[in-house]
Amino acid sequence: MDQKELSLGLEFGSTRIKATLIDRCFIPVAEGSFEWENSYENGVWTYPYSEIIGGMRDCYADLKKNFADKYGVPLTTFGAAGVSGMMHGYIPLGPEDQPLAPFRTWRNTLTGRAASELTGLFGFNIPQRWSIAHLYQAALDGERHLFELCRLATVSVLVHLLLTGEYVAGIGEASGMFPVDPLTNDYDARMERIFDGLIADRGYPWKLRRVLPRVLCAGELAGRLTPFGAAMLDPSGDLKPGVPFAPPEGDAGTGMVATDSVAARTGNVSAGTSDFAMIVTDRPMGVHREIDVVATPAGLPVAMVHCNNCTSDINAWAGLFGELASALGSRISRNALFELLFTRALEGDPDCGGLMNYNYVSGEGVTGLDAGRPLFTRTPDSRFTLSNFMRTQLLSALATLKIGLDILVNEENIPIDTLRAHGGFFRTREVGQRMLSAAVGAPVSVTATAGEGGPYGMALLASYMLMKEEGETLERFLADRVFANARTVTVTASGEDIAGFAAFLERYKKGLPVERAAAELL
C-alpha cells in the first residue's frame, strides 16, 4: 500500500473524536476514535482544551493501531488530510494563540440579546450558537479578554492552526462564524462594516476582519503538517511532516459531503447528539429565526435547520434500561440494546398512543427555549407500552427538526422530494429512516458509507484536494467518482405513519408551554 495515496479525515464530534483513513478508491481502510462528552461548568457547556489535544492524540493512536493490525506496517504519512468539527461556538485566542476563555460550544444559549440585535441590524438571521453572536455578547457583557483578542476560532480552526500553523477556515465552517457572501466566497462586507461600527466606541485594538480566519473553498491547499503539528498528533515520532491539508470544515459540511448532498436542490439530515437538516438552495430566502443560511464546502448557499437536542435523552433512557438488564443478570451489549429498543419502536402506535416526550437536555432555538428539562408525560388513558415509549422517544427527537422544515416548505416554497441521512440515529436498519420519512413525508436514503459520517466526509474533501482534475467541481467529483456506484437503501413511510407523526406533532406543539414551565420552575 502506498501511504501517500491515502487521505485522513479527523473530526471532533459531540461525543467522539473520530478518524477515518480512506484509499484512492474512497474505501475506508482504518479508523480510530476517542469518546468524550461536554460538561456544564459555571453555566457554560464546554470541553477542556487539554482534552482537545489529548483526545486527538488518543484517537490518532487508535487509528495507527488499527492500521498496523490490518497491514503489518506502521502508519507514517498520507497523501492528504483535513480536520472538521462541531460548527459554531467560541474559542478566543490571545497573542500567543492561548485561549482567553473556556470553549463555549454550539449547545450554549447565552447570547440571546446579541443574536437578536445582530439579526435586526444585518437583516440576516444570526443564531445564538454562531461565533459572531458569542463575540458580540462578550462585548455587551464587558468581558475584558476582548482587549487581548487576536484570533477567533472554532474547534476545527484551532486544531488546524495547531497542526499546520495556518489560520484559515473552509467556507462552510466560516459561514457559521460570520455570514458569507456567495458571490465573493468571503465574509459579507456590508455586515462586516456594520459590526465594526457597532463596536467602534469600545476601544478594542482590532477590527472584525483581523480576528476572523481567512476563508478557503473546497479543493484549495490550506497548509501542510508542520514538525510541531506532527509531534502533537503522533508523539511517537512515526508521522512525518509535510502532509498537505484541506481547509478545516464544520460537521454540517462534512455531512453534506458524506451523503453526496452538495449540489443545488439536494438535502440531507444528520442526527446524533444534535440534529440538523441541510437543503442546498438555488435562490434567496427571507429571514427566519428558525433557519440558518450557511454554505456548502464549495460555497453554495444552504438553508439549515439546526436543533440542539436529538439523541442525548434516548441515550440516557437506554442507559437506564441497560442498568436494569445488568441487575437482572443480562450481558446485553450496548449496540444490541439500542437495536432492540429502536426495533420495538416499529411496533408502536403511529401517534405513540397518548405518550409525549420533550428531549431538551439544553435550550432549543427553534422553539424559543433558552434552557431545557428532559420531560416525559402521558395521559391517564394512554397505551403505556415499551413500543409506544420508544416510538415517542424517536419522534420527539425529530419533532423540532420538523417544525423548522415546515417553514421551508410552507413559507419559502422549497420542496423536499427526498432526503439523505447519516448519523447514529440511523444506525439500526430501517427504523430511523422510517421515522424521519414519516416526519417529512418523503423518502429517506442511506448509503453504505453513511455510517462513516463526518470523518469520512472530511477524508473525501482531502481526497478532492489531492485528486481533482482541472475544472472538476466538488459536485461532479462526488457524483461521478465517489458515489456513482454506491449502495443505497431508501425507505418510505406509510400513509398511516405520516398521519401518526402529524397527530403526534400537534400534541407536541400544544404541550410546549409545559416544557417551558419545567425549565422555569425546576
Which amino acid does the sequence have at 493? A
Q: What local confidence, expressed as pLDDT, does residue 450 receive?
A: 61
SS3 of 130-157: the string is: CHHHHHHHHHHCCCHHHHCCCEEECHHH
**What is the distance between the alpha carbons of residues 173 and 10, in angstroms, rounded to a whole number?**
15
Q: Give the E-state strand segments of 23-166 in sequence order.
A: 28-35, 39-41, 44-46, 80-85, 91-93, 151-153
**What is the distance between the alpha carbons of residues 381 and 405, in angstroms, rounded to a whole number?**
32
Task: Give the predicted TM-score (pTM) of the model.
Answer: 0.84
Q: What local confidence, expressed as pLDDT, does residue 451 receive?
A: 60
Place of cell 410552507: 410
**What is the distance between the alpha carbons of residues 91 and 79, in angstroms, rounded to a whole number?**
30
With beta carbons less than 8 A apart as the criterion, state whether 146 and 122 touch: no
CATH fold of 3-249, please?
Nucleotidyltransferase; domain 5 (3.30.420)
Phi/psi at 92 (nearest 5 deg)? -85, 135
Please tell me whether residue 297 adopts helix, strand or coil conformation. coil
Every domain of the chain and the residues it spans: 3-249
Q: Which three cell numbers stand for residue 207?
A: 477590527
pLDDT tens sequence for the chain (522 residues): 799 999 999 999 988 999 999 999 999 999 999 999 999 999 999 999 999 999 999 999 999 999 999 999 999 999 999 999 998 999 999 999 999 999 999 888 899 999 999 999 999 999 999 999 999 999 999 999 999 999 999 999 999 999 999 999 999 999 999 999 999 999 999 999 999 999 999 999 999 999 999 999 999 999 999 999 999 999 999 999 999 999 999 998 998 999 898 988 888 898 888 888 989 987 788 888 888 899 999 999 999 898 989 999 999 999 999 999 999 999 899 999 999 999 999 999 999 999 999 999 989 988 989 889 999 999 999 999 999 999 999 999 999 999 999 998 888 888 888 899 988 899 898 999 999 999 999 999 988 766 667 899 999 999 999 999 999 999 999 999 999 888 889 999 999 999 999 999 999 999 999 999 999 999
Report pLDDT digits (tens) over 25-70.
Answer: 999 999 999 999 999 999 999 999 999 999 999 999 999 999 999 9
**Residue 307 backbone zone (phi > 0: left; psi -120 to 50: alpha; other: beta):** beta
